[in-house]
Amino acid sequence: MLSSIMDFTNSPNNKSVHEHKTEHKEYNIDKPKWKFNYPATFEKHYKKLLFIPLIIFILALAVIGFKYFSGQELIKKDVSLTGGVTLTAFTSEEIDIADFRAELGKSFSDISVRTLRGLESGKQVGIVVEMDPT
């Protein structure tokens, strides 16, 4: 009887409780999960990809050259850089900016008028008048 038990445990068809066959999945860490390998593509096509910043640089130079040769300012200078007068008046009542600008435009040629508004209330609290030196 002992021999029959030994034969049973050694038989190839025996699936004993103590014997577990586990399948191990192999993971390849070096391969990316996506199909497009970004670093390899950049290393392979870097000469072609250099044309993108080159085109942007050429366009920037073209805009600067166009402004320079057409006589426009590259950077619009404010009154603080060009000189001139800035007048800030605080008021408690609303002032119609269009009428105020029209009245000042009769006496002065190059003038800029804008309103000052409160942060919390949003109401007009004053006006700013800027004149360039002429």
Predicted TM-score of the model (pTM): 0.45
106 versus 33: the higher-pLDDT residue is 106
Which of 27, 50, 69 is where one domain is finished?
A: 69
Total domains in the chain come to: 2
Average predicted confidence (pLDDT) for the chain: 79
Angle, CA 128 vertex, CA 123 and CA 132 arms, to 5°: 160
Q: Identify the domain containing residue 62 by its residue range.
A: 38-69
User: In the chain, which residue ranges form alpha helices assigned H by DSSP?
Assistant: 2-10, 38-44, 46-49, 51-69, 79-82, 97-107
Q: Is the pLDDT reported for residue 121 higher than 90?
A: no
Is 24 within the bounds of a domain? no
pLDDT at residue 126, as a whole number = 92
Is 4 within the bounds of a domain? no
Report the pLDDT averaged over residues 59-82: 87
pLDDT at residue 61, as a whole number = 96
| Per-residue confidence band for 112, with pLDDT thresholds at 50, 70 and 90 | confident
Structure tokens of 74? Answer: 């590259």
